[in-house]
Amino acid sequence: MARKPIVSFLLSMAALTGAALAADGQWQALPDQAPAPADNPTTAAKVELGKMLYFDTRFSLTGTVSCFSCHNVMEGGDDHRPTSIGVHGQVGGRNAPTVWNAAFHSAQFWDGRAPTLEDQAKGPPANPIEMGMANLAATIGRIRAIPGYKPYFEAAFGKGEVMSMDNAAKAIAAYERTLITPNSAYDLYVKGDKTAMNEQQLRGMATFAKTGCATCHSGPAFSGPVNLAIGQGFLMKFPVFPGSAYDTQYKLSEDLGRYTVTQKDADKNLWRVQTLRNLIYTAPYFHNGSVKSLDEAIRVMAKTQLNKDLSTDEVKDIVVFLSALDGPFPQQTMPRLPPTPGDLLTEN
């Protein structure tokens, strides 16, 4: 058979697969705006304050660690370390997930322990390894001691005693809801531009579906359905098929995931399903950052989750399809922060 008919056949199969999954609601474009909860509508004033707090290292005990330290929004929204480094050079136990498109996840953190972005924002400051503050009261106390922050809190939340940790978390969450990357080639294709994806991307899309990847990686962010109850979390067992060479090589089963939070046997090795968007920016991969390349990560997932061995061509095609999920990043600029009063000293 000549090459041209083969190409036409493959494109037709990809289109049919895509059409079938679209009918099931599988192929969904990322919305142009992230959803916000009723008690924290997104406003420009909240976003401005949240961005300041996100970049401010004074949120940490030593004045050296901010949200930005582990979630670099000037690039992939992570830190490219296997596991992150916090105050006093302490090393955490898990890879920093990207903050890009986190607004579309059904729960936050690898183990899904925070139901919302607001709850997630309260976790790192009082974590002894990450930002090291004694508690959340001490955290917001540090911010209250900076007079220049008060006008920004009042602009965002009104006059009065509004410099609270709850409001600080709401502001950070509001900023994070602007960190989304719609209008990738895939998004444009799903929205009707059938020229947006090339031949190999379409072939990879069909291979992705045929292999079974979409069983977990569904929804607009490819991190699970978006219609779950708040905080329910879309968690899956990883590895589903333990004991493979990959499991041993990359120590995939050593961290017990959700179990470390609940202490329930049923939650052993349960993890929140991660987004597949902008993956080229977020190596290394998995909860322990043990896999450095995307093609290897695909082989590992196919074997440990689906008990399938993919060919080199299948892996290449899926990698190219995943590149179609890379959307344009909104422009980021560094915020100007209020000055530190001379009597505000950080601890060592």
Answer for the pair 195, 210: CB distance below 8 angstroms, yes or no.
no
Catalytic-residue membership of 176: no
Q: Where does residue 259 rank: exposed (0-12), middle (13-18), buried (19+ CB within 10 A)?
A: middle
Query: Which secondary structure element, helix H or strand E, spans residue 8, and what is its range?
Result: helix 3-23
Token reading at 273? 């399903």
Catalytic residue among 118, 130, 176, 314: 130
In the DSSP assignment, the letter for residue 237 is E
Instruction: Tell me the residue length of the chain.
Output: 348
CB-based contacts of 57, cutoff 8 Å, min separation 6: 63, 64, 65, 66, 69
Q: Which of 151, 119, 133 is nearest to 66 (CA)?
A: 133
Three-class secondary structure of residue 44 per DSSP: helix
Longest Cα–Cα distance of the chain, Å, equals 79
Answer for the pair 118, 40: CB distance below 8 angstroms, yes or no.
yes
Q: Residue 290 phi/psi, 5° resolution?
A: -90, -15
Beta-strand ranges (E) seen in the chain are 235-237, 270-272
Catalytic residue ranges: 130
